[in-house]
Amino acid sequence: MTYMITSQCIECHRCESLCPTGAITRNEHQYQINSERCNDCVGHYAVPQCWAACPTNGGCVPNLATLPHSLAEKPSSDYWDNWFYTYEHLVSRLNANQPSAYWQRWFDTYSQALTKQLQTPTSVGANV
């Protein structure tokens, strides 16, 4: 699925600098997203960066015309069926993105520091 820029865009320039594929450009009037280059940030980020960074929460939205066929063909009669279907689709995308080495080191360091802190006895009330 690709994204598109709506009339709610305030032209803050965030999306253009964050797009890993260079799909966002500015024409004479406003920003636009090249649907052939936009890949939903797959392989780069877990969520589309234009959507995540947009301060208006509506300046950059999914282009429903480019929905994957599996999602577009899904009947929308039952709310919970659609909810779980979408949830499973998004979870599978998150699982496909492997965490970077940076975040793994951060998590390991944080976990070790937290474990040490929890194992160290505190002397609460010792000086009372």
Which pLDDT score is estimated for 112? Answer: 92
Each residue of 35-85: pLDDT tens digit?
A: 889 888 888 888 888 888 888 888 888 877 766 555 555 555 677 887 888
The residue among 68, 63, 66 whose CA lies nearest residue 5 is 63
Q: Where are the domains of the chain?
A: 1-67, 68-117
Q: Measured at the alpha carbon of residue 49, what is the angle toward residues 64 and 19, in degrees to the nearest 5? A: 100
pLDDT for 102-112, tens place per residue? 878 888 999 99
1-67 domain in CATH 2.40.50.140?
no
Total-model pTM: 0.50
Q: Is the pLDDT of residue 128 over 70?
A: no
Question: Position 20: which residue type?
Answer: P
Do 18 and 66 form a contact (C-beta atoms < 8 A)?
Answer: no
